[in-house]
Amino acid sequence: MQKILVTGAKGQLGSELQTISKHYNQYEFIFVDREELPLDELDKIKAGLNEIKPDIIVSAGAYTAVDQAESEKELVDCVNHLAVAEIAKWAANNHSKLIHISTDYVFDGTSKTALHENEKTSPINWYGETKLRGEQAILSYLPEGIIIRTSWVYSEYGNNFVKTMLRLMNERDSISVVKDQIGAPTYALDLAHVIMKIIGSEKWVPGIFHYSNNGETSWYDFAKAIHEISGLVCEVNGVTSDQFPTRAKRPKYSLLDTTKIQKTYDVVIPNWRDSLEKVLRHRLLNKN
């Protein structure tokens, strides 16, 4: 029985993978978070991997607090870059497969069309820079690895835009949301299913892939959709990035072209609004 190790077990993607793992009895799953495999303590990573001896590693653990990353640069680089390098080296030396999760924030946001996997990278914040360094480490140490860049991830788990919007819409009469940043949301459960499809596929195609839900939107229109589906009484106003400054810059346009993963692994990607309705109606709203 093949052993699958998932890092970032308590994160959004890790939690969704745990949810669906019961449907994949042909694998042994080991889910670890910072307590079991601290990505900020490099000396413990190799020892931990030697103990677990996974056949497949899903590298979903990361430092994702984009604004806070600007003031914790050494820690962020350790988790998003140096730890990933250690995992890639171990996988290469032990003939293990690796699927690593990266981000649309490796791009600068100046594109006007959906971004292909081979587009020039140029991060504009430290989080994006460290995630790019992690990608480069995998390409260097483990060319057979798979990197999946995704964007605007949300689920019923952890902290994310959807849950923040629901909370604010419950607490306030009106909110303001940036309208000039364009991309596509990703429901973590959809991504989890794709990862398991790749693992179960008869072919292993190394390299970089892009995955997000289909369609494109702005954060403002994303918030409007949350507002409409939830039925909460709150005014949602659109503002520009200049009106809503953040410590870390965000790319203005980071829509990912997902053609490659669709064709390579025969993936059918749901529209972002359909997935949003699914998670709101069936999961999140039932909790409120």
Task: List active site positions.
Answer: 127
Name the one residue in this structure whose structure tokens are 């994310």. Answer: 160
List residues bridging with 102 in a β-sheet.
149
- Taking the alpha carbons at both ends of the chain, their separation in whole angstroms is 40
Q: How far is residue 95's CA from residue 92's CA, in Å, rounded to a whole number?
A: 5
Q: Side chain identity at 127, as an amino acid letter?
A: Y
Cα–Cα distance list, 165 to 94, 190, 258 (Å) = 44, 21, 27
How crowded is the C-beta side of 160, counted as CA atoms within 13 Å? 21
Could you tell me whether strands 182-183 and 217-218 are parallel, antiparallel, or unpaired per DSSP bridges?
Answer: antiparallel
Q: Give the phi and the psi of residue 248 in degrees, each rounded to 5.
A: -105, 135
How crowded is the C-beta side of 220, counted as CA atoms within 13 Å? 17
